[in-house]
Chain A
Amino acid sequence: QKEVEQDPGPLSVPEGAIVSLNCTYSNSAFQYFMWYRQYSRKGPELLMYTYSSGNKEDGRFTAQVDKSSKYISLFIRDSQPSDSATYLCAMSEVSQGGSEKLVFGKGMKLTVNP
């Protein structure tokens, strides 16, 4: 079983739809959870960052962590064509020293059609 599983899609939705992106993980020691957005031929950019469990909202984006189910989600409300990108989940443990390494999902390609 891979440490992080993410459905690679692709996912195509109409403009204005609510989008739900999900990842599951197996390592119960993960404490940091991130979502990155990557436009075509660009580097990933940090979208949302959550420490431990709970919800975090930023504009149209909501990140949700359910540690009991080892499941994280990213919700996009009122999706826009500019949201078309690949979304990668990432997570890591609390490290006592050395380099903190992230474990990434494979990424879900999202297309929002006008």
Chain B
Amino acid sequence: SQTIHQWPATLVQPVGSPLSLECTVEGTSNPNLYWYRQAAGRGLQLLFYSVGIGQISSEVPQNLSASRPQDRQFILSSKKLLLSDSGFYLCAWTNSRVYLAKNIQYFGAGTRLSVL
């Protein structure tokens, strides 16, 4: 069966510090991968998605970047965190090779980031 791992679960970082959040998927190959941010009252905001190694699409201009160095690894980064980067970050994947299932996204447990 497929599983998605996301870490760390909680992170407290000072303003101006770098960030690296990692997400890995097991039990599937060539997944589509997504990074979301969830803020209270604002729902899920899609930040980045990737359909393959090195292929990243950005949805929202911001202080963050994403990379996909391996097929089942997705990394969210920042060089200098801002207060506004605080939030709940979620990684998700879909099965890119099953037509009707491609729209079903499966989420990780999330990382709660507090920038102080």
Point out residues on A near B: beta carbons under 8 Å: 8, 32, 34, 36, 41-46, 49, 51, 88, 90, 92, 95, 98-102, 104-107
Chain B residues whose C-beta falls within 8 Å of the C-beta of A45 in the assembled complex = 107
Chain B residues whose C-beta falls within 8 Å of the C-beta of A95 in the assembled complex = 102-103
Chain A residues whose C-beta falls within 8 Å of the C-beta of B107 in the assembled complex = 36, 43-45
A-B contact count (CB 8 A): 56
Question: How far in angstroms is the closest Cβ of chain A from B28?
Answer: 15
Chain B residues whose C-beta falls within 8 Å of the C-beta of A105 in the assembled complex = 43
Question: How far in angstroms is the closest Cβ of chain B from A54?
Answer: 15
Point out residues on B near A: beta carbons under 8 Å: 6, 32, 34, 41-44, 46, 49-51, 57, 90, 92, 94, 96, 100, 102-110, 112
Q: Is the CB of A44 within 8 A of B32?
A: no
Main secondary structure of the interface of A (DSSP, over half): loop
Q: Is the CB of A41 within 8 A of B112?
A: yes
Q: Is the CB of B42 within 8 A of A106?
A: yes
Q: Is the CB of A100 within 8 A of B32?
A: yes
Question: Known contacts being A99-B51, A100-B102, A100-B103, is A43 close to B46, with CB within 8 Å?
Answer: no
Chain A residues whose C-beta falls within 8 Å of the C-beta of B103 in the assembled complex = 32, 34, 92, 95, 100, 102
The residue that B57 contacts in the complex, of A51, A99, A102, A104, with Cβ under 8 A, is A99
Of all A-B residue pairs in the complex, the 8 with the closest CB atoms, nearest first, are A43-B107, A106-B43, A32-B103, A104-B44, A100-B103, A100-B102, A92-B103, A43-B110
